[in-house]
Amino acid sequence: MSRLGVKPFAKVSPPFALLVCGFLLSRLWFWIQGLTFNDSCLYWFYQYLDVDLLENDLFASLWRLHAQPPLLNLLAGIGLKMTLPLGWWFWRIVYWGMGLAQTLLLFDTMKRLGVHAWLAVALVGAYMISPGVLLFENWLFYPYPAATLLILSTWLLVNSSENLPTRGLFVFFLVCSCLPLLRSLFHLVWLLGVIAILWFLRTKAWKRILLTAALPLLLVTGWYAKNLILFDTFSGSSWMGMNFARATVFRLPDHQREEWIEQGLLSKISSVGPFSPVERYDSLIVLPDATGFVCLDETRRGGSSPNYNNLSYIEISKEYERDAWTVVRRKPLWWLEKTAQNLLIFFRPVQEFGLRSGNQSSIEGWESVYDRWVNGQIRPSDINKAVDGRLPAVSMWLALCYLWVLIYPMSLALGFYWIGTGRGRERLAKNALVIAFIIFNIVYLMLIGNIFEYGENNRFRFMSDPLVLILSSIALNNGFSRVKNRIGKNESKG
């Protein structure tokens, strides 16, 4: 690790050992309770290519993937190429490994930022056994790898923030580049934002920053350029328009949407819901000619669920995007109101988003206890009713996780304060760079996840929860230290 410019973990301490034992015992306990790894999403989730293609034509299919960045399908394909049940165990061990890594990296990050070891153990322990973590750790989907990469990148930056060693910076940027290649929510703009933060806060090291960021930036830009050349879309995913339309066009009253279609303000494609099977669009767009590549031509994966990597969806998504921006331009205040309402979903328990993992029954009792007494959820309620507005307004507010409602804005406010107090000095405190990186990611996920998406906003919050936990640990540690100092002063006076 030191050869890469990264300081390894400190020597094993009782708190460190307690977390390792706690992780292993908790996983064993929930395994006994019936919590098992779920890979069924391979066969019906939008994000995956045809299982047969992943198993038998992996790399050629990944090259022609425009619907999603490649890393999730690469992980799925590697497991499928193994003889069953080895593939299942491969995914199982990888996700368990990510869980243990999250636990230890969070603990070490907090310690390096000055948080007392036992306070870090308490906070990380509570996170480690939270229902959302348990469910996402047992699901072949990208929220858990994305959260792991965010935690790892934060830990790497803590290691490198003081002197910005070349090797450490390169590893940091390399890990950051994996996020846009895993999850389209982390756009190329996000990676440029990370580079800009380091450049702004470490102006004297700008050459080293640009040098170490060059190759990771090239990897992401190269994938985007490939999509531009092959599919005329400079992005990690061709779905942006369909997602944005779901958050705008299809929240209009039906009669108004139909009226706008008749008036020509919206295209006829908005008469069909986003992510409909491609056959529904036959009379609405000119479908492209066959390419000869199964991953682009087949309309249904294995003859069942729709293939959202079909070439037709590129133009379909562009039409939806044009309509979505029309709604934003014509009803800006209404759009801002709807975006603000997305926070009602954003702050619900992360395990309660629309797509279910099939493991809820295994932790149902624990989920109820944790959400009420740790997350502060006053009144659990049906997520589908909350999403489409069928819950009364009061019930929707009572269904939020008030722990996160409180600590998100408080942590952000304190983070900005810590950075501000450091800026007045000759040299920024080493922690200020890390705090700025954390704040950037929290704000980015809150904004992008609520502006362009609707329905699964709490799933996006899952990726930033560990970062908020880090800021909260610093605030709590500072608070406890001040109380302790005051008590000490009072005792000395007495």
Q: How confident is the model at residue 386 (pLDDT cuts 50, 70, 90)?
A: very low
**CB neighbour list of residue 232: distance below 8 Å, 6 or more residues apart:** 314
CA distance 70 to 36: 26
Instruction: Identify the three-state secondary structure at position 21.
Output: helix
Q: Looking at the predicted structure, is the pLDDT value of residue 384 above 50?
A: no
SS3 state at 377: coil
Q: Rounded CA gap, 478 and 63, in Å?
A: 49
Domain edge (last residue) among 311, 330, 349: 330
> Of 313, 330, 347, which residue constitutes the final position of a domain?
330
pLDDT in tens, 255-298: 999 999 999 999 999 999 999 999 999 889 888 999 999 999 99
Confirm whether 373 is domain-assigned. Answer: no
Residue 244 and residue 216 in one domain:
no
| Domain count of the fold of the chain | 2
Same-domain pairing of 125 and 166: yes
Q: Are residues 137 and 206 in the same domain?
A: yes
Query: Are 279 and 223 part of one and the same domain?
Result: no
Supply the pLDDT for residue 426: 38
d(CA 485, CA 137) in angstroms, rounded, equals 40
Residue 125 in domain:
yes
Q: What is the pLDDT of residues 398-417, one digit of tens each?
A: 777 888 888 999 999 988 88
CB 208 within 8 A of CB 166: yes
CB atoms within 10 A of CB 483: 10
Cα distance between residue 467 and residue 150, in whole Å = 8
What are 119-127's contacts with CB under 8 Å, separation 24+? 119/473, 119/476, 119/477, 119/480, 120/15, 120/473, 121/15, 121/18, 121/19, 123/469, 123/472, 123/473, 123/476, 124/19, 124/469, 125/19, 125/22, 126/374, 127/465, 127/466, 127/469
Q: Is there a domain that residue 19 lies in?
A: yes
Do 83 and 198 belong to one domain?
A: yes
Is the model's pLDDT at 2 over the cut of 70? Answer: no
pLDDT digits (tens, 9 = 90+) for 360-374: 778 888 988 898 888
pLDDT digits (tens, 9 = 90+) for 86-143: 999 999 999 999 999 999 999 999 999 999 999 999 999 999 999 999 999 999 999 9
**What is the pTM assigned to this prediction?**
0.92
Q: pLDDT-derived band of residue 164, with 50, 70 and 90 as boundaries?
A: confident
73 and 199 share a domain? Answer: yes
Is the backbone peptide bond immediately before 332 cis, with ω within 30 degrees of 0?
Answer: no
Please, are residues 250 and 238 in contact by the beta-carbon 8 Å criterion? no
Q: Is 48 left (phi over 0), alpha (psi -120 to 50) or beta?
A: beta
Map residue 306 onto helix, strand or coil. Answer: strand
34's CB contacts (< 8 A; 6+ apart) are 359, 361, 362
Q: What is the pLDDT of residues 432-462, one digit of tens each?
A: 899 999 999 999 999 999 999 998 888 899 9
pLDDT > 90 in the chain, percent: 67
Co-location of 108 and 220 in the same domain: yes
Could you list the residue range(s) of the whole structural domain that residue 269 is in?
A: 240-330
Tell me whether residue 95 is in a domain: yes
In this structure, the answer to whether residues 306 and 233 fall within a common structural domain is: no
Q: Quick one: pLDDT band at residue 489, thresholds 50, 70, 90? A: low
The whole-angstrom separation of Cα 443 and Cα 460 is 12
pLDDT at residue 390 tops 80: no
Region of poorest pLDDT, from 19-23, 241-245, 360-364: 360-364
Asked if residue 380 belongs to a domain, the reply is no
Domain boundary (330, 346, 362) is at: 330
Output b/e per residue, 432-441; b: 16+ Cβ within 10 A.
bbbbbbbbbb
- Structure tokens of 53? 């293609």
| Rounded Cα distance, 103 and 451, in Å | 31
C-alpha to C-alpha distance for 194 and 210, rounded to whole angstroms: 11
Q: What is the pLDDT of residue 493?
A: 64
Residue 386 placed within a domain: no
Using the structure block, give the residue that is written with the tokens 């919050």.
461
Same domain, yes or no, for 69 and 114? yes
Q: How many CB atoms lie within 10 A of CB 368?
A: 13
Rounded to the nearest 5°, which phi and psi values hold at 64? Answer: -100, 20
Residues 183 and 251 in one domain: no
The two tokens of residue 415 are 């983070």
pLDDT at 427 over 50: no
